[in-house]
Amino acid sequence: MHLAWGEEEERFRAELGAFLDAHAPAEAIGRGMEPETHGGIPLWAREWQATLFDHGWLIPSYPPELGGRNATDVQTLVYFEELAARGIPRALHFPGHAIVAPSLLEFGTDAQRELVPAAIRGDTVWCIGMSEPGAGSDLAAMRTRATLDGDHFVVNGQKVWTSYAMWSQMCMLYVRTGDTDSKARGISVLILDMTTPGIDIRPLRQSAGGTDFAEVFFTDVVVPKENLIGEMNDGWRVTMGSLAHERAGLWLEWTGALDHVFRRTVDEARRVGALEDEVVRYRLMALYEEVGGLRALGYKGFASYEKSGAAPEHALLKLATSELRKRIAQLTNEIAPSPENRREVLGTFAGTIGGGTSEIQRNAIARVLGLPRGY
């Protein structure tokens, strides 16, 4: 049996490859698929995202006016596969094209949808105001409140771990508009101009040394009523859609990033002569098998999605890839201790927290399997 893509998919891959050979900047090649926010968004990354949009390669499944070429699901999979193989990111800031745009296309008004092209192309940098000090994984516990006062909302509260807040022009802000104990039933979503008076952005320095996140305080911030996305107190649907958009198709990017991290570990082992150690070789082989197994699980999930529109296999991948990346980084630092490798280990802990902690992911998987919750 020979497993391979068909002629149409390979023509699509060849066209993409020719474009990448001609246009991908040197800074993008081989850097891995994960965004990097430390120090802001570099000019080359902004220009690269715009180039992808202008040539129809940013979101291939979208129409040309939204940075795509009406690609099929299988062609989109080939697209992610090729980018992952080359270690080329689409963008170093994902909220606009991965969360805001699909959310506005699904739930926004006609006026709000006019914001979509700039969000995808990267002309407008967005942040996502979800997590709070007491409402990270338990998003329904959020307390930042928006009170409707005539033709506008007044927002008071605090967000934390907000990526890109320091450089964003706009924010997709999740607020409580229902009763204090309304939980998921009382959440709404607002479009917020980050230059609005009353917003205080305070960067957070992490253990690895970067300032990739910020806490954001809101004091009597006025937001026009027409900036409400969807219906009032119906923001949970937007929230769940946003999280789904964030994760859809990312498994190839995650496993692609693992490939690059693993190859770096092998290079480090070779550099210090650790490949002569039989135990090190065995541990590297075991990690390599795990990376390949996760990639195969992703393809299985894609096949499930094509058949039924659901892919329970992908529920595991966020958990498994973030935990595996942490273990690969730990082995790298064990083999070749250095300040850079120690920072890499510290940085991997963020992947087990952001977008849903590993504990929350295990509960989600337990629900799919019909098992009891962990708490």
Backbone angles phi, psi at 217, to 5 degrees: -110, 140
Total Cβ atoms within 10 A of residue 215: 18
Per-residue tokens: 65:
């006016």
Q: Are 146 and 177 in contact (CB under 8 A)?
A: yes
HEC string of 221-289 equals: EEEEHHHEECCCCCHHHHHHHHHHHHHCCHHHHHHHHHHHHHHHHHHHHHHCCHHHCHHHHHHHHHHHH
Closest to 37 (Cα-Cα) out of 88, 87, 92: 92
SS3 content of the chain, % helix, strand, coil (to 5): 50, 15, 35
Structural Rg of the chain based on CA atoms: 21
Q: CA 247 to CA 291: how far, in whole Å?
A: 18
List the catalytic residue out of 132, 215, 246, 268. Answer: 246
Closest to 229 (Cα-Cα) out of 133, 149, 146, 169: 146
Residue with tokens 């942490």: 326
Q: What is the DSSP string of 109-172?
A: -HHHHTTHHHHHHTSS-EEEE--BTTBSS-GGG---EEEEETTEEEEEEEE-S-TTTTT-SEEE
Residue with tokens 């990526």: 163
Residue with tokens 């770096």: 264
Pairing outcome for strands 126-129 and 152-159? unpaired
- Asked if 246 is an active-site residue, the reply is yes
DSSP H or E run through 317: helix 314-335
Catalytic residues: 246
